[in-house]
């Protein structure tokens, strides 16, 4: 009867690296060892390079997880925003906010302007930047959030949802003002803002100027208390201008007409 052969060092190393949750180390160590041997790199620098690769990959996975947990409707960066198309927007302030230093200071951001000017894009870009800084982010629309709050209240899990919302370092609430709120919805949404006051940062986008928010909350008292909390430590982004979506639509129509001119039509 033959004895079981002892595990090879390679098998043991693979086992230990899996147990230690070092997948990049496991995947790259042989290839990097050959490269370092060829380059005359000593063992310390070899291990340093492996550790750096593992850290880079771990950071990438963490950012991906935070982006997924944020529940963005789309992943958009500020790099793809057309600042030239919206002269009213303070680009310097937006780029400063992209450093996400306002989040640990628990300051808020409000983007106000007419429809189609890119408020959601800016909010998504700032949310993405915060994820990349390692901060926890949540994204929702005002209407969806109110619906979720009412549903949670009816199912007796409101406290758990409120704790979750309060726990985000940055909460993005998009499209405030597009849909009027019921009294219950307005009060529940106010409670979210109140619980986050000076405890976390909130980004709000709205197509309404502040003096018209009473129409959304249907209460001057509630609106005043909300604005008092939101605007205590705030950066306001003025985003009034021509609708970006409308310009894009008109451009596509012009391009389609130009493509259909007699000179561009195929012969036949």
pTM exceeds 0.85:
no
Asked which of 9-23, 32-46, 131-145, 236-250 is least confident by mean pLDDT, the reply is 236-250
Please check the confidence at residue 259 and state whether its pLDDT lies above 70: no
As a whole number, mean pLDDT of residues 160-183 equals: 94
Residues 67-78 have pLDDT tens digits of 999 999 999 999
Spatial contact of 143 and 175, defined as CB atoms under 8 Å apart:
yes
- Full set of structural domains in the chain with CATH: 10-59 (no CATH), 71-247 (3.40.50.300)
Q: How many CB atoms lie within 10 A of CB 249?
A: 12
* Banded pLDDT at 180 (limits 50, 70, 90): confident
| Among candidate residues 114, 113, 94, the one with its CA nearest the CA of residue 102 | 94
Q: How many CB atoms lie within 10 A of CB 197?
A: 17
C-alpha distances in Å from residue 117, one per residue of 85, 86, 107, 139: 9, 7, 23, 19
């Amino acid at each position: 009867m033959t004895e079981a052969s002892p595990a090879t060092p390679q098998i043991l190393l693979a086992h230990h690296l899996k147990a230690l949750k070092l997948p990049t180390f496991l995947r790259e160590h042989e290839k990097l060892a050959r490269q370092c041997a060829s380059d005359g790199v000593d063992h310390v620098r070899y291990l340093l390079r492996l550790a750096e690769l593992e850290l880079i990959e771990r950071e990438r996975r963490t950012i991906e997880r935070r982006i997924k947990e944020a529940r963005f409707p789309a992943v958009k960066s500020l790099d793809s925003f057309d600042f030239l198309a919206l002269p009213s927007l303070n680009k310097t302030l937006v780029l400063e906010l992209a450093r996400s230093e306002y989040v640990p200071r628990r300051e808020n951001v409000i983007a106000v302007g007419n429809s189609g000017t890119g408020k959601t894009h800016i909010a998504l870009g700032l949310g993405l930047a915060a994820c990349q800084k390692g901060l926890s982010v949540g994204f929702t629309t005002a209407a969806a959030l109110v619906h979720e709050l009412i549903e949670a209240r009816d199912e007796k899990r409101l406290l758990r949802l409120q704790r979750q919302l309060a726990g985000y370092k940055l909460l993005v609430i998009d499209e405030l003002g597009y849909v009027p709120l019921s009294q219950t919805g307005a009060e529940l949404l106010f409670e979210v803002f109140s619980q986050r006051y000076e405890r976390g940062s909130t980004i709000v986008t709205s197509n309404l100027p502040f003096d018209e928010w009473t129409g959304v909350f249907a209460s001057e008292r509630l609106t005043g208390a909300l604005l008092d909390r939101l605007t205590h430590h705030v950066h306001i982004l003025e985003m009034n201008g021509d609708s970006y979506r409308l310009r894009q639509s008109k451009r596509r129509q012009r391009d389609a007409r130009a493509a259909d001119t007699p000179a561009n039509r195929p012969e036949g």
